[in-house]
Amino acid sequence: MGQKQNKQMQGTPARATPSTDPRFLPAATQLAIDEEIEHSFFERALSLVSDLAWARYRNRPHGPILAAQEFTAQYTGLLAWAFAEYIGFVAKAAVNHGVRVPWHKAESAGFIFLNRFVTSRYHHPWTGDFLRGQKWIGEQHAIAAYQKLHEVAPWFDDRIVTPEMWERVFYGEMRSGAWRERAIENGKSKAELITRTAVPENRRPGKVSHAIADAPPWSELQKKKAIKRAEAAAYLRCSVRTIRDYIRRGKLDATELGWVICNGKLMGLLRRALGDAYR
């Protein structure tokens, strides 16, 4: 790994500026990638702060500090996962759009993307403040998760786990570069695998050149409010089993009867499957 790359990894995730924020994919594709990873990251972060096992640190010697260290390790692991996911989505989209993306641009864009998970509402993720105002969770659910975190987690006694300690443990690890190296390694592996094995959508056997015609305009789907899983599978060019998996993982929402709700999640997947021209 070159000296220039090592220097780039010494700070926190890069701050986006006009000169360092490459836009090498269509805006709609970039938005769909961002949305998908943001949702998955939130679900994982919610699971992290909702883990009742944090209570086991309460009665251990130096338990609150050990808990803060463990939270830091798991959260930076989430960041590394998000980076690799971002690189994977970019690699796949680049193949589909016939775009060549130099690694240094993809890496830079990946760390710029991660910036949202250590700033703004995610600035102090151990507080659970990121739960508020999220579109992927109901208000009552968010309040309950926030309150439970503050009841269970041992690091809210600032006489023991001081702001200076968080600065040293959490932000020290953010700046250390160790998790970044894991992220880069995993991202490169994912990108290489996709580049070697992915087939551009317009070259796949059986791919209909006018696939958009098979799906009704989005305005019609919105009027329906929900569609059968088989319909969603046909529009997204996947199996019903994949639709069930999307629902289970939160990539699609479903009614009590199991029909797919026609909301922004479905729209995002349709745009990814059918192209940015789908409306």
Same domain, 49 and 152: yes
Lowest mean pLDDT among 25-29, 59-63, 84-88: 25-29
| Cα 136 to Cα 96, 101, 154, distances in angstroms | 28, 31, 27
DSSP-derived secondary structure for the chain: --HHHHHHTSSSSPPP-TTT----S-HHHHHHHHHHHHHHHHHHHHHHHT-GGGGGGTTSTTHHHHHHHHHHHHHHHHHHHHHHHHHHHHHHHHHHHT----HHHHHHHHHHHHGGGSSGGGSSGGGTGGGTT-TTS-HHHHHHHHHHHHHH-GGG-TTTS-HHHHIIIIIHHHHHSHHHHHHHHHHHHHHHHHHHH---GGGSTT--TTGGGGS--HHHHHHH-EE-HHHHHHHHTS-HHHHHHHHHHTSS-B-TT-PEE-SHHHHHHHHHHH-TT--
Which tokens sit at 98? 């016939």
Same domain, 64 and 180: yes
Same domain, 43 and 145: yes
Which of 133, 167, 198 is the last residue in one of the domains? 198
pLDDT band at 115 (very low <50, low <70, confident <90, very high): very high
Domain membership of residue 270 (yes or no) is yes
| Residue 23: predicted pLDDT | 59
Domain membership of residue 279 (yes or no) is no
pLDDT band at 195 (very low <50, low <70, confident <90, very high): confident
| Residue 187: predicted pLDDT | 94
The percent of residues in the chain predicted with pLDDT above 70, rounded, is: 85
Same domain, 217 and 264: yes
Query: Dihedral through CA 120, CA 39, CA 179, CA 102, nearest 10?
Result: -100
Same domain, 187 and 207: no
Average pLDDT, the chain: 83
Same domain, 194 and 231: no
Same domain, 183 and 208: no
| Cα 258 to Cα 44, 231, 274, distances in angstroms | 24, 12, 23
Lowest mean pLDDT among 71-75, 125-129, 203-207, 210-214: 210-214
Same domain, 106 and 144: yes
pLDDT at 207 over 70: no
Same domain, 129 and 261: no
Under 8 Å CB-to-CB from 230, ≥6 apart: which residues?
240
Mean pLDDT of 202-228: 66
64-68, 217-221, 230-234, range with greatest mean pLDDT: 64-68
pLDDT band at 228 (very low <50, low <70, confident <90, very high): confident
CATH code for position 244: 1.10.1660
pLDDT band at 111 (very low <50, low <70, confident <90, very high): very high
Under 8 Å CB-to-CB from 202, ≥6 apart: which residues?
96, 209
Same domain, 214 and 191: no
pLDDT band at 41 (very low <50, low <70, confident <90, very high): very high
Same domain, 166 and 226: no
Range of the domain at 108: 3-198
pLDDT band at 261 (very low <50, low <70, confident <90, very high): very high
| Residue 199: predicted pLDDT | 57
Same domain, 41 and 159: yes
| Residue 158: predicted pLDDT | 84
Mean pLDDT of 122-136: 92
Q: In the chain, how many domains are there?
A: 2
